[in-house]
């Protein structure tokens, strides 16, 4: 690609030669169009490369985890493919903002390092005129992320759970998760302290059994082993070294039974994915369903707060693409990062700072005394103000001192990485 420096020089000569013809606007318009196309290409290449690499890294981590699960459950590649397919929207919600940040950061870092930003200013192009290509890239990323988080992700989460539970059912497993309350069976709740990788060996088992209207039972055992019959229709949870506490319906009697071995039989026909139950959870509602639920007058305040939190979370998080992208452009020019590795490190530092702030603000809005909207939108407001300050400082060629500290930190990390790679 012809460097923009040459293009600007050509356009500048043409502009000067026509100063007497009063045709200034035409040539400035042509210059802006060339600049727009050039900056779009400069950002597009690192965006798609970063998106591909980041998504593949996450995929590789999940593939290793899912492969262990598949080997343990004797499932096929089709199940692995479905799990990865349903996981893709979740990955993209995180990787698209990061890819947007890196795309803008690396593009403008190269422009600054090759003095093309200086050439633009010499040609009479203000730094503000680079806003449109940045806005187009960040706006595109924002729309994609918003669509994924609001409409696609709830359905993919449900599909992912469906595959996992059906795999467990068909392979004679329960798909029990550690340290949470598992309620896949009607009238039964399981709490397991630890589960082996194959899902068959359990430690510190706690079960509440309310299937009988006359008697409620609580079972505690040190260990458990899942054994299924050849028909695949029934599974036995063999409990070792525990106690059974049985309470009558009216709390009139209490029976305690100690055991060394106790077989707890389960009917797998009742163990099936219940999509209706999943859809009751806020994060599994589509954007339309969430909006309809918020308009209901029958909600208590606790439920309304949960729905409001989920609503603002889906709207606010995609804005990471916009605020991080708009910060990255002046940040690159201010720091004049010449090394791509330094640019990546700088981007990671900025990304981590943003999401640490988001995590703190989410806790403030979810469990704190403030409305969910304040906690979830506060990081975007603060980083948005930072972006405006950086753009003004950069356009006026005034240094922003905090950037120098961030740059020095990025350079130290870069040097450490290079030294480690040489050993």
Domain boundary among 216, 251, 270: 270
pLDDT of residue 365: 62
Domains in the chain: how many in total? 2
In a domain, 277, yes or no: no
| Cβ pair 185, 270 in contact under 8 A | yes
Domain boundary among 270, 294, 319: 270
In a domain, 91, yes or no: yes
pLDDT of residue 220: 93
Give the separation between CA 127 and CA 396, rounded to whole angstroms. Answer: 9
pLDDT at 20 over 60: no
Same domain, 29 and 155: yes
Same domain, 56 and 163: yes
Same domain, 163 and 207: no
pLDDT of residue 14: 44
| Cβ pair 161, 184 in contact under 8 A | no
Whole-model pTM: value is 0.69
pLDDT mean over 43-50: 92
In a domain, 416, yes or no: yes
Same domain, 109 and 25: yes
Q: Could you tell me the two tokens for 400?
A: 């922003």
| Cβ pair 58, 95 in contact under 8 A | yes
What dihedral angle (degrees, nearest 10) is formed by the CA atoms of 304, 309, 311, 315?
160
pLDDT of residue 96: 94
Task: Give the domain extent around 216.
Answer: 181-270
In a domain, 154, yes or no: yes
Same domain, 138 and 226: no
pLDDT at 412 over 70: no
Q: 194 in helix, strand or coil?
A: strand
pLDDT mean over 358-382: 76
Phi (first) and psi of residue 421, to 5 degrees: -70, -25
pLDDT at 273 over 60: no
- At 235, the pLDDT band (50, 70, 90 cuts) reads confident
pLDDT of residue 290: 81
pLDDT mean over 85-106: 90
Give the separation between CA 270 and CA 321, rounded to whole angstroms. Answer: 44
pLDDT at 231 over 60: no
Same domain, 331 and 391: yes
Number of DSSP helices (H) and strands (E) in the chain, helices first? 13, 6
Same domain, 324 and 346: yes
Instruction: Note the pLDDT tens digit of each residue in 298-338.
Output: 777 777 777 888 888 888 889 999 999 998 888 888 765 54
Give the separation between CA 315 and CA 95, rounded to whole angstroms. Answer: 17
List Cβ neighbours of 398 (8 Å cut-off, separation of 6 or more).
Answer: none
Looking at every residue in the chain, the average pLDDT score rounds to 76
Same domain, 144 and 217: no
Q: For residue 202, what is the enclosing H or E element?
A: strand 201-209
List Cβ neighbours of 47 (8 Å cut-off, separation of 6 or more).
Answer: 99, 100, 102, 103, 137, 141
- At 420, the pLDDT band (50, 70, 90 cuts) reads low
Instruction: Note the pLDDT tens digit of each residue in 214-225.
Output: 788 899 999 998
Q: For residue 278, what is the enclosing H or E element?
A: helix 275-279
Same domain, 8 and 125: yes
Q: Distance between alpha carbon 75 and the CA centroid of its chain, in Å?
A: 27
pLDDT of residue 334: 74
pLDDT at 278 over 60: no
| Cβ pair 99, 47 in contact under 8 A | yes
In a domain, 173, yes or no: no
29 versus 173: the higher-pLDDT residue is 29
Give the separation between CA 352 and CA 350, rounded to whole angstroms. Answer: 6
Q: For residue 373, what is the enclosing H or E element?
A: helix 372-395
Residue 28, number of CB atoms within 10 A of its CB: 16
In a domain, 88, yes or no: yes
231 versus 10: the higher-pLDDT residue is 231
- At 82, the pLDDT band (50, 70, 90 cuts) reads confident
Q: 248 in helix, strand or coil?
A: strand
pLDDT of residue 21: 44
Domain boundary among 224, 252, 270: 270
- Is the four-CA dihedral 7, 12, 17, 19 of positive or negative sign? positive
Give the separation between CA 311 and CA 286, rounded to whole angstroms. Answer: 10
Same domain, 261 and 355: no
- At 11, the pLDDT band (50, 70, 90 cuts) reads very low
Give the separation between CA 117 and CA 110, rounded to whole angstroms. Answer: 9
pLDDT of residue 123: 73
Same domain, 186 and 313: no
In a domain, 191, yes or no: yes
pLDDT of residue 402: 66
pLDDT mean over 98-105: 90
In a domain, 291, yes or no: no
According to DSSP, the residues that pair with 206 across neighbouring strands are 191, 220
9 versus 264: the higher-pLDDT residue is 264
Residue 256, number of CB atoms within 10 A of its CB: 8
Same domain, 23 and 55: yes
311 versus 274: the higher-pLDDT residue is 311
pLDDT of residue 76: 64
According to DSSP, the residues that pair with 330 across neighbouring strands are none
C-alpha separations of 81 from 67, 84, 168, 328 in Å: 11, 5, 16, 36
pLDDT of residue 196: 81
DSSP assignment string, 400-411:
-HHHHHHHHHHH
Name the one residue in this structure whose structure tokens are 């706006």: 139
Residue 239, number of CB atoms within 10 A of its CB: 24
């Amino acid at each position: 690609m012809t460097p923009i420096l040459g293009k600007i020089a050509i356009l500048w000569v043409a502009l000067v030669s026509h100063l007497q013809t009063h045709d200034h606007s035409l040539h400035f318009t042509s210059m802006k169009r060339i600049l727009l196309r050039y900056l779009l290409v400069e950002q597009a290449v690192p965006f798609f490369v970063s998106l591909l690499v980041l998504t593949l890294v996450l995929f590789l981590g999940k593939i290793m985890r899912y492969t262990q699960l598949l080997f343990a459950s004797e499932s096929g590649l089709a199940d692995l493919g479905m799990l990865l397919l349903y996981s893709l929207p979740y990955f993209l919600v995180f990787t698209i903002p990061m890819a947007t940040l890196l795309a803008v950061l690396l593009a403008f870092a190269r422009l600054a390092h090759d003095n093309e930003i200086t050439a633009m200013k010499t040609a009479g192009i203000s730094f503000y005129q680079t806003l449109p290509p940045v806005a187009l890239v960040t706006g595109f990323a924002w729309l994609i992320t918003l669509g994924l988080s609001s409409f696609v992700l709830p359905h993919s989460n449900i599909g992912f759970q469906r595959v996992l539970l059906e795999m467990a059912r068909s392979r004679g497993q329960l798909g029990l998760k550690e340290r949470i309350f598992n309620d896949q069976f009607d009238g039964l709740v399981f709490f397991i302290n630890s589960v082996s990788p194959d899902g068959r060996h359990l430690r510190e088992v706690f079960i509440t059994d309310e299937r009988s209207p006359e008697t409620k039972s609580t079972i505690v055992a040190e260990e458990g082993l899942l054994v299924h019959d050849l028909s695949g229709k029934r599974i036995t949870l063999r409990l070792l070294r525990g106690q059974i506490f049985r309470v009558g319906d009216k709390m009139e009697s209490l029976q305690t039974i100690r055991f060394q071995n106790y077989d707890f039989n389960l009917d797998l026909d009742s163990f099936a994915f219940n999509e209706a139950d999943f859809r009751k959870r806020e994060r599994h509602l589509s954007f339309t369903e969430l909006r309809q639920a918020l308009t209901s007058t029958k909600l208590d305040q606790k439920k309304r707060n949960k729905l409001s939190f989920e609503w603002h979370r889906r709207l606010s998080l995609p804005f990471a693409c916009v605020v991080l992208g708009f910060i990255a452009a002046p940040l690159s020019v201010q720091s004049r990062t010449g090394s791509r590795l330094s640019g990546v490190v700088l981007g990671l530092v900025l990304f981590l700072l943003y999401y640490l702030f988001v995590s703190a603000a989410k806790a403030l809005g979810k469990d704190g005394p403030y409305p969910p909207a304040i906690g979830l939108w506060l990081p975007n407001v603060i980083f948005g103000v930072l972006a405006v300050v950086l753009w003004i400082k950069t356009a006026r060629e005034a240094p922003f001192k905090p950037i120098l500290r961030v740059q020095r930190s990025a350079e130290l990390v870069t040097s450490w990485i290079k030294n480690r790679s040489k050993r």
